[in-house]
Amino acid sequence: MRLSRYFLPVLKETPSEAQIVSHRYMLRTGMIKQASAGIYSWLPMGFKVLRKLEDIVHEEQAKAGHIAMLMPTLQSADLWRESGRYDGYGEEMLRMQDRHGRDMLFSPTAEEMFTDVFRSNVTSYKDLPLTLYQIQWKFRDEIRPRFGVMRGREFFMKDGYNFDLTKEDALHAYNRHLVSYLRTYERMGLQAIPMRADSGPIGGDYTHEFLVLADTGESEVFYDSEITDLTFGDREIDFDDKAQCQAVLEEFTSRYARTDETHDEAEFAKVPQERQRTARGIEVGQIFYFGTQYSDAMGAVVQDGEGNKVPVHMGSHGIGVSRLLGAIIEASHDDKGIIWPEGVTPFHCGIVNLKSGDAEADAACEAIYKSLTALGLEPLYDDRSERAGAKFATMDLIGLPWRITVGPRGLKNGVVELTSRRTGESEELPPETAIERIAQIYGKVSA
């Protein structure tokens, strides 16, 4: 993409309504525009990152054996009355009627819808285990939406639901989700710590939420510092192996880590004092096991191996995909702008032409642009007739991890400048070497 042709409405001033870093930078970089309180239009660069996060979630869910589908955003109130949640959910639920006077609601979550699909189509234990999920827009009518996409009313969310014959099987699904979530967040450049959490209106006995440590987090968290040394890495795992998945759960949840809602001072005191930590955290996902709560209420039963009809054991598992953009920026920025992790950056590399209109500089930039594109990479080429300082400021603000700077002076010496956004370190290299370095970083094969 050439910046002269891209829609990137960068703001020079920080909007007054933006209270936290991610909201400020998402507005300033033209990623989003507020449509009404807590509801945003996703402009091209914001939409591009949102889709990258969605793709990572889909890929990791597929590896875990989970099956994607799509539910409507509008649901019938009858299903929620059947589960007993319609009247109790609260004013966060946006209720409405269609032209025939039927009570409807804008989906805040989808346990009832998925349970209805399951009970209409599955009757035998032979069809289990089964995990279905979607990535879809949700709406919760927050009384005070704030912090941009971090606490909006409309949000993009992955919600998955497992259906199993026994509690043991359902807890394996719980563990499987925990493993897949650890992999998902690490691919996004995040360390999301699973913490014992409160189940809230969804219910359930087993629940962990995943929190990213950040000063602007809405939750106070208490944890053993040893947990921040854990990484999943590139280890291979068999998601059908119950012992292996259980071992990962124990590895990542055996140390103390809780939100303020479930904090236990007596338990926390058992952690060696030098490892006790208190911080703020941003919730980016949650997993639940809630047994037969919905299957009992809605008649989601299967025939077991002895011919008995039994309610299935269920759980739900969510990732706030749109909220993740805010969390990534909160965890990865400086006073110049965003610093995107390589796994989610909207463009792999920026190309800055220090002298647009200079034949040699233009030709060199074009050659680099075409070479990176041929490798399957997406560079953003700043070909505008702007001064160098303005181009650098834009690149720093939008936060691409790598920048290749091309100018007449360097070209006379046969070099361009490769700069890391995270460290600020620059290196002069021949153009071919800079291209090869970028290709290596992103796992592409240089021609």
> Up-side HSE of residue 241: CA atoms within 13 Å toward CB?
10
141-158 pLDDT, tens digit per residue, is 988 888 899 889 999 999
pLDDT tens digits for 280-297? Answer: 999 999 999 989 988 999
Span 289-315, mean pLDDT?
93
Q: Which pLDDT value is given to residue 200?
A: 61
Question: Rounded to 5 degrees, what are φ and ψ at 54?
Answer: -60, -45
**Rounded distance, CA 157 to CA 137, Å?**
6
**Average pLDDT score, the chain:** 93
Residue 330 corresponds to which tokens in the numbers above?
A: 């909160």
Q: In angstroms, rounded to a whole number, what is the distance separating the alpha carbons of residues 335 and 339? A: 10
| Beta carbons of 154 and 50 less than 8 angstroms apart | no
Q: What is the value of pTM for the model shown?
A: 0.93
CA–CA separation, 61 and 133 (whole Å) = 9
Pair 77, 105: CB distance under 8 Å? yes
pLDDT at 407 over 50: yes
Beta bridge partners of 139: 154
pLDDT value of position 205: 57
pLDDT of residue 151: 87
CA-based nearest residue to 403, from 336, 331, 358: 336
pLDDT digits (tens, 9 = 90+) for 236-272: 999 999 999 999 999 999 999 999 989 999 999 999 9
Cα(386)–Cα(401) distance, rounded to whole angstroms?
21
Q: How many CB atoms lie within 10 A of CB 45?
A: 23
Contact 118, 300 (CB under 8 A): yes
Q: Does 447 have pLDDT greater than 50?
A: no
Asked if the model's pLDDT at residue 333 lies above 50, the reply is yes
What gap in Å lies between CA 291 and CA 206, rounded to an integer?
Answer: 9
* CA-to-CA dists, residue 210 to 119, 193, 219, 252, angstroms: 30, 5, 11, 11
For the stretch 376-402, pLDDT in tens is 999 999 999 899 999 999 999 999 999
> Can you list the positions of beta strands (E) in 197-312?
206-213, 219-224, 257-259, 276-291, 301-303, 309-311
Q: Which residue has the higher pLDDT, 33 or 88?
A: 33
The rounded distance, in Å, linking the Cα atoms of 183 and 57 is 9
* Alpha-helix residue ranges (DSSP H) falling in 12-154: 21-28, 44-63, 77-83, 111-121
According to DSSP, the β-strands at 276-291 and 219-224 are antiparallel
How many angstroms separate the CA atoms of 177 and 65, rounded?
A: 10
| For range 84-102, the mean pLDDT | 92
Q: What is the pLDDT of residue 33?
A: 94
CA distance 280 to 260: 10
Please check the confidence at residue 202 and state whether its pLDDT lies above 80.
no
pLDDT of residue 12: 85
